[in-house]
A and B are shown apart, each in its own frame.
Chain A
Amino acid sequence: MPLVQQGLYHPEYEHDNCGAGFICSLEGKKSNDIIHKALEILEKLEHRGAVSADGKTGDGAGILIDIPHQFFADVCPFALPEPGQYAVANVFLPQKENQRSFCIEVVEKHLKGQGLHLLGWRNVPVNRSVPGRIAAETEPFIQQLFVGKADENQSISSFNLQLYIARKKAEHEIINSKLSQLGFFYIPSLSTKIIIFKGLLMPEDISLYYKDLQDSRVVTRLALVHQRFSTNTFPTWDLAQPFRYMCHNGEINTLRGNLARMRSREELMKSDLFGPDIKAILPIVLPGKSDSASMDMVVELLLMTGRSLPEVMMILVPEAWEKNDQMSSTKRAFYEFHSCMMEPWDGPASIPFTDGNYIGAVLDRNGLRPSRYSVTKDGYVIMSSETGVVDIAPENVAMHGRLEPGKMFLVNMEEGRIVNDEEIKESIAQKHPYSQWVAENLVHLRDIPYNDCPLFIGESSLEKRKSVFGYTLEDINSILGPMGKSGYEPIGSMGTDTPIAVLSDRPQLLYNYFKQLFAQVTNPPLDGIREEMITDISLTLGSDFNLFEVDPAHCRKLKIQNPVISKEDLDKIKNYGERPHFQVANLSMRYPIAQGHNGLENALAQLLEDAEKAVDNGQNIIILSDRYTNAEYAPIPALLATSYVNSGLQVRGKRSQLSLIVESAEPREVHHFALLFGYGASAINPYLVNEIIAEQIENGELTGITFEAAVENYNKAVGKGILKVMNKIGISTLNSYRGSQLFECIGLNTKTVDTYFPRTTTRIQGIGLYEIEKEIAKRHQNAFGTKEISASLDLEIGGEYRWRRDGEKHQFNPITVAKLQKAVRNNEPNTYKEYAQLINEQSKHLMTIRGLFEFSNFDPIPLEEVEPWTEIVKRFKTGAMSYGSISKEAHENLAIAMNRIGGKSNSGEGGENPERFYKTPEGDWKNSAIKQVASGRFGVTSNYLTNAAEIQIKMAQGAKPGEGGQLPGPKVDPEIAKTRNSTPYVGLISPPPHHDIYSIEDLSQLIYDLKSANREARINVKLVSEVGVGTVAAGVAKAKADVVLISGYDGGTGASPLTSLKHAGLPWELGVAEAQQTLVMNDLRNRIVLECDGQLKTGRDVAIACLLGAEEFGFATAPLVASGCIMMRVCHLNTCPVGVATQNPELRKKFKGQPEHVVNFMYFVAEELREIMAQLGFRTINEMVGQVQKLDRKKVIHHYKAAGIDLSPILHQVKVPHGTKVYNTQKQKHHIEESIEFSIIEKAHPALYRKEKMSLDFPIKNTDRAVGAIISNEISKNYGAQGLPDHTLKINFTGAAGQSFGAFATKGLTMVVNGTTNDYLGKGLSGAKLIVRIPEGSTLRPDQNVITGNVALYGATSGEAYINGKAGERFCVRNSGATAVVEGIGDHGLEYMTGGVAVILGAVGRNFGAGMSGGIAYVYDPNNTFKGLCKEPGLNLWDVDQAEDKVQLKSLIEQHYNATHSPLAQEILEAWEYELPKFIKVFPEEYRLALKRIEEETAATQV
């Protein structure tokens, strides 16, 4: 049974990712061998799955095959009709016999109800000793069900329909039955074509468990297989894959929105085929299922509407068509039409699918999951997440291919051929005149003419309205002004140390009680700037239409390109009367202030009534407006009204018939808009912002811009901001984001949330509608109620982002900063105590959740018995701040201090100067014990990793989770460039995602890679607190990280959009407690160290973190303040006046910090902690970890908002068997010792230790991963960054290399693969030479075949790679120094590249060179297509006409030929003069300027 919600753990946040694949016979020949091969695929993908704490329970695996008719005919004790004339299922049933009979009866009843014929049940022979302990607890009783047609003449489609209805009805009845074992019941499939064998099994155990699979009479043409990696350890049997029509590797990020919208669509479903039964199959998507299972249920429904499986896949997983000008107009029209009907099911997804006739696969628009396929000459097609999963002799290979982003491929076994994407889609797109339908029905807002804008006579004054809607001077000056001026959201720095909304004394807008969710680990955030082509923020408004009908009515919609609209745009909509399909209703979002809470509640109810009436009147665009707020009427918070109407109409079954437009004075920040869209709005006019911009222009505060342009800028800035918010959670289109509710509440009570924001998580309770009204009333009072006091400011000053005395409270304020600095500089323990007291004493001014706790259950012991401070500080760390974001002086100061006390400093993501790896003559050590590996991979080399005590993978950062970063060119001075292995003055981008982590099994892979690169170092995974972080932490533990860090949302940053600083992520109190609870629940806690950071400032903070479950502690802002930081919050401007966060040499001189200051701080904190430990009775930190019974809620707090907070979920103690460890006691088993590299090292001693040249031969398999990393680690240990002389050790491999081949491979190594390689070839390449070439015996033409996977040479810093074939997506991403030759690449090639050279002797995909700021590419473009695919404005596309370029290019091609014997290289070289003009040199302008500057500077120094 799945675990129920407890404490902070919510089961709906579990994620899964996986390995998937299929094998089929091209010609549809049945064999038993296919099953063996399919199971072989699963076994070879085992490293992509995970194992639970019992060491035996997998997260689920399964196989889908044709119905083995002959076998069933033989073994069934009853007669079977002809193949295809009956359906069969493996049915999961309760173990308890009484409950089982009930289920069987229900199933039989509904089959009968549909007139179907029960043929019989067969007990499925299984070996019950196979499943692990955990799996055995939920193991169902499995029986095979055989069903015959109603009568002989029944058509197959009608048979299928009836099977579907019967199954759905049975499912619904049993789910609603309240059986204690109802969770066991599940029908994996009920098909006339295929059958599924799956379970909570390890891949190798499937055929051991299901004895049927061992029978040689079981034959099939196709087999779909899947192996699951779930973040949690409560996976269930039913969620194992494949599902009925598909399996899925990835994660559907948009699931919540999709499900909500599906529920709405159910209102309109009508079908002659179903008749009244249609209501009985609702809801289509059963609750509590995984994203993949849910999607499968929708696929199934759409198939029932008569659409084909490929068509359904096109609708659900459309290509990125919106910005693709090369797409055919028929296909565009198909997609545009269907975008009005269905939003994309978006997210990383590689989806193999089959309906038993076709087998195929589709890849999401981002191409974020690997999907490789091979066709053999003996007639098999094998598709899988990795290549090499089935052994194929080289001479048997007919083709190696890969699925491209947004593309689909199908095996037509009837015709014995592979149907390509173009052919499938064109034929589907031509089925109906979609172009015509769209042209005739879809209206674009931009095409509607402007009309005379009505004025709003009688509105209250602007000042009063600003006041009632809570605008502050800071809002206007720091947010609205800059957005209007520049079109960008303003940037801030440092963290946030203001109270969360529910603890603030100031009236807060409702938006502030919501936090944005973001992607970490299980799905990647996106980069909407550099990968803009896959994003879209347009929305369509109007009524939805019955899914069962293919009708132009679906696209009778109004399309808005950027749904943040001006007043003038809104006027257009209001007065648009040309078409009868758009009927606008205006509803007022106001309530009579005199009636208070009741008035608000009634007004909301009335609003919903009115909306429903409007729908009933046929009005389908409803404008919710808070115009005419005045002394009598206060505004209903727009979010409250929008969400309530949205969800209320959903409940009433009327939501799909209308769209909501919000006309409100309230929204001003990006976060506000994101929330309104997230809760159902389709367009928003922030009219007061428009008016304020007008006022600012009039007053001369906003100059040099017209009103229209400023409003346009503002709207654009919000649009971009929303894109960023969506991208954070990995969503590409606003259409999918709308209504998805990807937020968590903090500080609202369940009653209010359930009523107004159903299905949103809120975990610590808080205020309700009553207090919300009180806050509105307070603002209303300020605006309309009070006397005019002269000489007062009209608006409040603000103080959210910068401290102001009368503004919001900040923990770091003049007094606390001053006292802390005085304490550490003069070594004054008493002054520290005063500082700590100011931070800790929050009885009067609530600041943090931890402030609400008090210690209890005292059991005092003498202070001397507590472990000494010198022991405690070993658990202390400083935060990840890169050299680059802070100055050299500040960075080294922290490192020296932490090394002195045995704590750990963190390099941040900027690399580290190798000089710092060695101690200074004075005995100090500037080496950062923790080396960070972030998405930019700056300076990440074998040597860097080798010198780490701990390696931290930064999945997210508290200040801006889900976002990347940027170090602009001017800041990259030569020294920083050296440290980061990049070119001076060339800007550096950290992408939002790690391009080698799109899912949990990828993280597991990176951990393996890094562990290979340094076996001594602990691997630390940094996460940010949000709901569900506990399950992610469990996944991280299963992925074998040694440490998991939970950061609070409030941590610092060098630069972040203001929205992210405040509104994404949660305080660590929730994250740490959730992680602790989930890890303990899973019995995984002992395997991993739990660390906490995020505005830790005092010993009391540490004590609370420890009691909640943390055992190591990070500090960043506080030690910086100790070093002299005075919270200027200008880190992003390079103007730090105290030399902390600046690279300006003059300003750096002003740095006055000393290691002693940091040491004193750590000492004071540890001593304060020791005093608390003594009071509570803990002698060691280990004793203290997770002892939540020592915490209690403070009783003395009287605060009208905080009073409703319920901390018990944080203090929840998970019930576990006695003796379960709640802190780290054992090490992870990484199985590094099983690597083939050790046998290589054994033979390579002469090379490795005596620098003798030698060559070795080894076979290789896809399960041999990260090969080269361990050897390189050995080389780095002995020879440092210099490595070995070139070509000292050459290793020839034959076979299919596993992922990360050549990862961090260093100088002196040459590694050759004769065969194929998988993803991440040459990741972090550090000087080695890699060669991948087609094996001997192969007849393939290399340049037409895919030989390596995605994301090759990610973050490579030096070295060479020669690739004799095509590579996948994101080739050379973030390459900063390696040289590569390849014969064709996929989309997003050379993304974010900053240095190095790439020669591409073949086609490139779309979006070539996005964010490429440095390095050079030579692209062979014989067909003149390149310029259509490379549209980056910053790239120069030149002919190769400079002598030195010609020499470089030719020599690289020659080397490629020498390494690989590439026929293509040979051909080019043979006709060099003829071929040369077909090359294009790609030369980033920024790089060109940088090289020029370096040249000038070198010349100057030589003079």
Chain B
Amino acid sequence: MEFDRVVESYIPVEERIKNYQEFTQPLPESALKDQGARCMNCGIPFCHSGCPLGNLIPDFNDAVYQGKWEKAAKILHATNNFPEFTGRLCPAPCEEACVLGINENPVSIENIEKSIAETAWAKGWIKPEPPQSRTGKTVAVVGSGPAGLAAAQQLNRAGHQVTVFERDSKAGGLLRFGIPDFKLDKSVIDRRIEVLIAEGIEFKTNVEIGVDIDALTLKSQYDAVVLCGGAAVRRGLTIPGAQLNGVIQAMDFLKGNNKSVSGELNTPPISAKGKHVIVIGGGDTGSDCIGTSIRHGALSVSNFEIMPQGTPERPAHQPWPFYPMRLKTSTSHKEGAERFFSISTKEFTGDAQGNLTGLKTVQVAWEQINGSMILKEVPGSEKIWKADLVLLAMGFTGSETKVAEQLGVTLDSRTNVQASEEDYKTNISGVFAAGDQRRGQSLIVWAISEGRQAAHYVDTYLMGSSCLPLKEAGDLPRV
């Protein structure tokens, strides 16, 4: 290999934590070409299978290598409506499946993707392309997260009149309110929404279906409805002291902060400034809480994860090219959080005013019994921690059921909307579901993928057949 892997570097921690701006340093064009050249044009590009969107990775890598950025942008957009989002936020399962990854560092696919997208924006190649003709059919998309936006754009391309309903003040869903600006500057969402509007998609914000408009009414007004409401029900911690002031759901914390950054609010409603912060949950949301807390000026930030500490290497049972569960250190972790693994919180403690003062934990061990992993507390490992603010970032348990109930849509055991990947149809004719609301909490690439796939089937439902592209089977399974 002539070149080694290079990825975007970051502005130093002490600088970047002073504000909420993105802190990645884009690679120069020459470096990107070299990175494109590392792609080996594999006989079987496993990356292409590792990517839930089925991005044509070898093809855009080659275009970048040849300096044909417009061609690259075209190839990229053929499978991905919003590469500027995934180029920033995706955990890049493609890179885990990269053939180079067997014995070298994989191709920096995600950086290349982002650069293609940003170049396309900068050069003005991304412009509204309204459909040449309209079908006269109308579609309501409920929810404006990545799944909803993707479905909306695809359906609009097919010529349908699409209306997107968003209960929040602005479109974007978790992208806008869940992801801190230092990871995704909100102008990146805005410019995309502008294009979508110019292409003819109507956005109705501050309208909550099921509350402001009855879902059945909505259904009667549109030829098809696509439910993209996400998996919004947060996992809580039902232990003593959970009601104390200072035990906060991560999403509330992050959303408030994002609104303050955007100027919608003057200050963050919940501040970590001068506080000892404990973030429970070692995932991406946990990291976002860490980075935000540090920017607030927290005294200390600790991060708890109930699972044992992974290794940087792949576990044996998740060999290449499968997506491995391994120790990942996010940029936020590097900004000054201490991490604790195999730790379970038993109780929150508070003062008489009902304010949080700390929490009690116990170390846990995982044992395999009869094929399933069982959690066991380690005797004598109890510990008491001081804490002023605990942020619960333990994921989501399922979707909100209000709309489904009004429509009579069947839910699965996890309260997600039941619809198969074969056609994204719910049990109610004309009602479709996509994204986390169907799938349960997942990655942004999956959300976009679902939105695209669902759009094809909605189009088929409306027109009898569809020209919208469909990703064919071939997703690498999870092991």
Q: How far is the CB of B70 from chain A (nearest CB, A)?
A: 10
For B48, list chain A residues within 8 Å (CB).
Answer: 803-805, 814
* B74 at the A interface (CB under 8 A): yes
Contact of B103 among A813, A821, A1135, A1137 (CB under 8 A): A1137
Kindly state the separation between the CA atoms of A814 and B57 in the bound complex, as whole angstroms: 14
The listed residue with most A CB atoms (<10 A of its CB), out of B43, B48, B77, B99, is B43
Range class of the A interface residue count:
35 or more
- In the complex formed, the residue of A with least CB distance to B55 is A805
* B210 at the A interface (CB under 8 A): no
Kindly state the separation between the CA atoms of A728 and B77 in the bound complex, as whole angstroms: 44
CB contact under 8 A between A1126 and B317, given known A815-B477, A1137-B100: no
Q: How far is the CB of B455 from chain A (nearest CB, A)?
A: 11
Contact of A806 among B41, B54, B316, B467 (CB under 8 A): B54
Q: How far is the CB of A606 from chain B (nearest CB, A)?
A: 32
Contact of A788 among B45, B132, B470, B474 (CB under 8 A): B132
Q: Which of A513-521, A789-797, A1218-1226, A1321-1329 lies on the face that meets chain B?
A: A789-797
Report whether over half of chain A's contact residues are helix, strand or loop; otherwise say mixed.
loop
For A803, list chain B residues within 8 Å (CB).
Answer: 43-45, 48
* A778 at the B interface (CB under 8 A): no
Q: How far is the CB of A476 from chain B (nearest CB, A)?
A: 12
| Contact in complex: A806, B103 (CB < 8 Å) | no
CB contact under 8 A between A793 and B99, given known A805-B54, A1128-B40: no
Range class of the B interface residue count:
35 or more
* A1270 at the B interface (CB under 8 A): no
For B68, list chain A residues within 8 Å (CB).
Answer: 700
| Contact in complex: A813, B44 (CB < 8 Å) | yes
Q: How far is the CB of B84 from chain A (nearest CB, A)?
A: 14
| Contact in complex: B97, A814 (CB < 8 Å) | yes
Kindly state the separation between the CA atoms of A587 and B103 in the bound complex, as whole angstroms: 59
For B77, list chain A residues within 8 Å (CB).
Answer: 791
* A826 at the B interface (CB under 8 A): yes
Report whether over half of chain B's contact residues are helix, strand or loop; otherwise say mixed.
loop
1/0 per position for A50-92, CB-CB distance to B under 8 A?
0000000000000000000000000000000000000000000
1/0 per position for B444-479, CB-CB distance to A under 8 A?
000000000000000000000001111110101101
CB contact under 8 A between A1138 and B132, given known A792-B469, A805-B49, A810-B44: no
* A787 at the B interface (CB under 8 A): yes
1/0 per position for A1365-1391, CB-CB distance to B under 8 A?
000000000000000000000000000
* B251 at the A interface (CB under 8 A): no
* B395 at the A interface (CB under 8 A): no
1/0 per position for B294-329, CB-CB distance to A under 8 A?
000000000000000000000011011110000000
* A1129 at the B interface (CB under 8 A): yes
* A1483 at the B interface (CB under 8 A): no
- In the complex formed, the residue of A with least CB distance to B133 is A787
| Contact in complex: B474, A818 (CB < 8 Å) | no
- In the complex formed, the residue of B with least CB distance to A801 is B43
| Contact in complex: A814, B476 (CB < 8 Å) | yes
Kindly state the separation between the CA atoms of A1130 and B42 in the bound complex, as whole angstroms: 8
| Contact in complex: B103, A789 (CB < 8 Å) | no
Contact of B41 among A791, A793, A802 (CB under 8 A): A802
| Contact in complex: B44, A1126 (CB < 8 Å) | yes
| Contact in complex: B78, A792 (CB < 8 Å) | yes
- In the complex formed, the residue of A with least CB distance to B475 is A815
- In the complex formed, the residue of A with least CB distance to B43 is A1129
Q: How far is the CB of B54 from chain A (nearest CB, A)?
A: 5
Contact of B59 among A494, A792, A797 (CB under 8 A): A797
The listed residue with most A CB atoms (<10 A of its CB), out of B42, B159, B468, is B42
Q: How far is the CB of A1404 from chain B (nearest CB, A)?
A: 45
Kindly state the separation between the CA atoms of A958 and B131 in the bound complex, as whole angstroms: 49
Q: How far is the CB of A1058 from chain B (nearest CB, A)?
A: 13
* B213 at the A interface (CB under 8 A): no
Kindly state the separation between the CA atoms of A1150 and B103 in the bound complex, as whole angstroms: 7
CB contact under 8 A between A790 and B474, given known A494-B43, A821-B319: no
* A1127 at the B interface (CB under 8 A): yes
Q: How far is the CB of A560 from chain B (nearest CB, A)?
A: 37
Q: How far is the CB of B36 from chain A (nearest CB, A)?
A: 15
1/0 per position for A1114-1146, CB-CB distance to B under 8 A?
000000000000111110000101100000000
- In the complex formed, the residue of B with least CB distance to A492 is B43
| Contact in complex: B102, A1126 (CB < 8 Å) | yes
* A817 at the B interface (CB under 8 A): yes
* A786 at the B interface (CB under 8 A): yes
The listed residue with most B CB atoms (<10 A of its CB), out of A804, A810, A814, is A814
CB contact under 8 A between A817 and B44, given known A787-B158, A793-B74, A797-B56: yes
CB contact under 8 A between A791 and B44, given known A814-B321, A825-B319, A1126-B99: no
| Contact in complex: A1138, B44 (CB < 8 Å) | no
Kindly state the separation between the CA atoms of A44 and B451 in the bound complex, as whole angstroms: 81
* B50 at the A interface (CB under 8 A): yes
For B469, list chain A residues within 8 Å (CB).
Answer: 789, 792, 806
For B477, list chain A residues within 8 Å (CB).
Answer: 815
| Contact in complex: B102, A1137 (CB < 8 Å) | yes
Kindly state the separation between the CA atoms of A804 and B42 in the bound complex, as whole angstroms: 10
Kindly state the separation between the CA atoms of A1135 and B132 in the bound complex, as whole angstroms: 47
Q: How far is the CB of B350 from chain A (nearest CB, A)?
A: 49
* A1015 at the B interface (CB under 8 A): no
| Contact in complex: A806, B472 (CB < 8 Å) | yes
* A117 at the B interface (CB under 8 A): no
Q: How far is the CB of B349 from chain A (nearest CB, A)?
A: 46
* A473 at the B interface (CB under 8 A): yes
* B216 at the A interface (CB under 8 A): no
- In the complex formed, the residue of B with least CB distance to A834 is B477
* A812 at the B interface (CB under 8 A): yes
| Contact in complex: B472, A1138 (CB < 8 Å) | no
| Contact in complex: A818, B46 (CB < 8 Å) | yes
Kindly state the separation between the CA atoms of A813 and B129 in the bound complex, as whole angstroms: 35
For B44, list chain A residues within 8 Å (CB).
Answer: 802-803, 810, 812-814, 817, 1126-1128
Residues of A within 8 A of B (CB): 473, 494, 700, 786-793, 797, 802-806, 810, 812-815, 817-818, 821-822, 825-826, 1126-1130, 1135, 1137-1138, 1150, 1152
Closest 7 pairs (CB-CB, A-B)? A1129-B43, A814-B49, A790-B129, A1127-B43, A791-B77, A805-B54, A814-B46
Q: A787-B133, A802-B58 are in contact. List 9 more A-B contacts (CB 8 A).
A: A786-B467, A789-B468, A792-B78, A802-B44, A804-B48, A813-B44, A814-B476, A818-B321, A821-B319
Of the A-B pairs whose beta carbons lie under 8 Å apart in the complex, a sample of 9, sorted by A's number, is A494-B43, A787-B133, A787-B158, A791-B81, A797-B56, A803-B43, A804-B48, A814-B44, A826-B316
